[in-house]
Structure 1
Amino acid sequence: MTKVNFLHVGKTGGTALIEAIREFPSSLDLQTHPHGIRLSDIPKGDKVFFVLRDPIDRFVSGFYSRQRRGLPCYNGPWTRGEEVAFSAFPTANSLAEALSSKTVERKAAAEHAMEAIDHVRTSFYDWFHNDDYFLSRINDVLFIGMVQHLNAEFEKLKLLIGMPTEAQLPQDHLRTHRNPSHVDRSLSPVGKANLHMWYKKDYLFFGLCNRIRVERGLNPIAVGDGPDSP
């Protein structure tokens, strides 16, 4: 039986998907994996699926997830770099704006923070290597989901991966590892522009995956479309 693998790109709703997969077992040989497993770790011929999200939305989600050390779902102590980063930048916007600071020290601190904070520092290409490699494995890619409409995407996905029709995603904050509603998700125009530049390669990959979705008869997901998710 062909194996089907879920690649868990950080801060893309994967915790909710894994919870659903555990609660409603698939009729296929379906395996979930931790963040450290990349596409290159999956044997050629095995099927994979994954979910993406707008890179700036992912930044905001990752920033606040690590600021609270992953609690209450996880408990990951800060690294020394994260401790310094969150001491200097209490909000996602303060870090985003500082990337273009005219003060050399402030700009350098922001760049160090972007490289220090888990989830914030990762790129989609950490999982997919580069466009050429990704496209060489495109026949193994069963489904590309978009977190902005995760519930609707799940209805399509569960048909492909042999989950029962009654399967649903969990909705509570603990099981979905969703950020609390009170965190300040707002970003200024300067902050957004800086982040678009910082994650420009991820936006190119996001666009590539959207084009593949369209080729497969799925609707494209607009950049920035939808509310904050897990």
Structure 2
Amino acid sequence: MKRSFAAYLQQHNQRSKSDCFLHIPKTGGSGVGRFLAGIAKEVEGARVPIRLSHAWTAKKILKFHPEIKIHFLIRDPIERLVSAFQTRLREGAPGLGPAWRVGEAAAFAFFSDPSQWMLALISDDNRLKSAAYFTLQNVRLLRLNYVHFFESPEYLATIRDNLGVVTPIERTGEFLDAMCHISGVDPTMIERHYSQFRVSKVRSADFVEQLTDKERQRLMQVFQPDYAIYDYLQAYAQTALSPSPRQ
């Protein structure tokens, strides 16, 4: 949190204090963060949202700025977890992720791909299931789920006025358009400053598509608290209007 807060303080006087972009892991946030940094550097006076990293939660953000709007991308929880597993399995390659911690090394000694891990979560073999839950608790990107950031649908309901642009990852282009609108810059800047970052050759959606209906339903039960939040945010995304630029 110290490093994240230091970066926040550095941005604080340069960026909009009315809006922030919360980077939820494996939702395309690295590319969005670089995009926001690019337009902040190029356009003097742009009202660019502050980028807040994984260390921040909605509650921490609102402790500092009770009136701020929180903008972010969302993704199916199982897809997001598969992508997180793959990222830590390859140690964050090609370059930004830290080396495995002891717990991660033990977890990946058990499971060499996300399919093994996910199916172990719903296995009847108690040894495998225990190893799968150990993995869930010890691989950091897996712990940083919707419950971590937003606690529950009930909590989200209490901070609904602070929710800004919430967009599924499949509609990232719409999210970038909204960020341009909020920042007060021309959307043509997307072409100059946005590119997907560290795109895996293995699509997380491919794994999800291979699950049987029964396997998917059982996994959704395992991750029910995350899906409850995801469903709330999906409903919000479908009904909410993009906010106008701040004056």
TM range (shorter): 0.7 to 0.9
CA offset at residue 32 of structure 1?
Answer: 0.7
Q: Distance in 2 between matches of 1:116 and 1:77?
A: 13
SS in 2 for 1:32: strand
Amino acid at match of 2:229: F
SS in 2 for 1:51: strand
Unpaired runs of 5+ residues, structure 1, are: 219-230
Q: Per the alignment, do residues 118 and 195 of structure 1 end up closer, same or farther by CA in structure 2, a change over 3 Å counting? A: farther
Q: Distance in 1 between matches of 2:118 and 2:84?
A: 13
Contact 1:91–1:184, Cα closer than 8 Å, also in 2: no
Which stretch shows the higher mean deviation, 32-41 or 119-128?
119-128
How many aligned positions are there?
A: 215
Q: Deviations over 1:147-192 (max 9, x none)?
A: 12212332233213334321226335xxx13223488952432653
Q: Per the alignment, do residues 177 and 163 of structure 1 end up closer, same or farther by CA in structure 2, a change over 3 Å counting? A: farther
* Residue 143 of structure 1: aligned partner: 165
* Residue 81 of structure 1: aligned partner: 103
When the two structures are superposed, what TM-score results if normalisation uses the length of structure 2? 0.78
When the two chains are superposed, the root-mean-square deviation of aligned CA atoms in Å is 2.3
Contact 2:79–2:204, Cα closer than 8 Å, also in 1: no
Q: Distance in 1 between matches of 2:194 and 2:48?
A: 22
Q: Deviations over 1:19-58 (max 9, x none)?
A: 1011112721521112101111222111211111000110
* Residue 177 of structure 2: aligned partner: 155
SS in 2 for 1:5: strand
Contact 1:44–1:137, Cα closer than 8 Å, also in 2: no
* Residue 225 of structure 1: aligned partner: none
* Residue 39 of structure 1: aligned partner: 58
* Residue 200 of structure 2: aligned partner: 179
Percent identity, please: 20
Amino acid at match of 1:127: F
Q: Distance in 2 between matches of 1:100 and 1:141?
A: 34
Given candidates 73, 96, 99, the residue that maps to 2:121 is 99
Contact 1:124–1:205, Cα closer than 8 Å, also in 2: yes
Q: Distance in 2 between matches of 1:5 and 1:94?
A: 37
Which stretch shows the higher mean deviation, 203-212 or 52-61?
203-212
CA offset at residue 63 of structure 1?
Answer: 0.6
Moved over 6 A (4+): none
Unpaired runs of 5+ residues, structure 2, are: 1-15, 243-247
Given candidates 196, 201, 204, the residue that maps to 2:228 is 204
Larger RCO, structure (CA 8 Å, separation 6 or more):
1
Q: Per the alignment, do residues 101 and 68 of structure 1 end up closer, same or farther by CA in structure 2, a change over 3 Å counting? A: same
